[in-house]
């Protein structure tokens, strides 16, 4: 991707030195490479940069946190403590929480009950799942229990009301008058 950007910038520099304007240069680029490669505004910005005497086609360094993360460091932190949060990892490695989360997803980990676990089932888990399904199918052949399962919608009409936890009262900071 980066080499494509530099390639297009070299072509823009070529057309600039030939005396073409940004709109014509973009038209020639889109004729060859198709739409969506560069906008007219991007071409105009690069031509303005060339007019100011800057012929460097490299990207300028950007400020802010780097998006490059060491996946091995993230993996080591998670293996050392499965209950570590993305915020803690981000603070230790100077990364954004979203960057850490994306890398954890890329490593095949997902958070279940505040523990980072592999998203892919192991061979043992797959076998266990097949055994349970097989036993339920055999049980259904002998005793059709699926017809006795009661289902309902979100409101639960006709279902027994569950005792819900009462909300915890807020502390009173001011005295009653």
Span 119-176, pLDDT tens digits: 777 889 899 999 999 999 998 888 887 777 776 655 555 555 555 556 666 666 666 6
User: With a threshold of 0.85, does the pTM exceed it?
Assistant: no
How do residues 25-65 score in pLDDT, each as one tens digit? 999 989 988 888 889 999 999 999 999 998 888 877 777 65
Which whole number is the average pLDDT over 88-107? Answer: 90
Q: Provide the token pair at 111.
A: 């958070």
* Widest Cα–Cα separation across the chain: 86
Length of the chain: 177
Q: Are 70 and 80 in contact (CB under 8 A)?
A: no
Q: First-to-last CA distance in the chain? A: 69
């Amino acid at each position: 991707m980066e080499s494509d950007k530099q390639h297009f910038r070299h072509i823009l520099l070529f057309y600039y030195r030939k005396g073409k304007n940004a709109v014509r240069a973009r038209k020639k680029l889109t004729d060859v490479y198709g739409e969506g490669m560069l906008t007219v505004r991007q071409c105009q910005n690069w031509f303005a940069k060339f007019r100011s005497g800057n012929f460097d086609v490299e990207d300028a360094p950007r400020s802010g946190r780097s998006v490059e993360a060491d996946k091995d460091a993230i993996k080591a932190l998670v293996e050392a403590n499965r209950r570590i949060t993305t915020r803690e990892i981000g603070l230790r490695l100077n990364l954004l929480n979203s960057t850490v989360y994306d890398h954890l997803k890329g490593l095949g980990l997902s958070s279940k009950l505040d523990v980072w676990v592999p998203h892919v089932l192991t061979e043992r888990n797959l076998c266990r799942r097949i055994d349970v399904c097989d036993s339920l199918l055999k049980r259904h052949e002998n005793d059709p229990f699926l017809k006795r399962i009661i289902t309902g919608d979100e409101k639960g009409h006709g279902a027994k009301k569950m005792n819900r936890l009462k909300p915890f009262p807020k502390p009173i900071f001011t005295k009653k008058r």
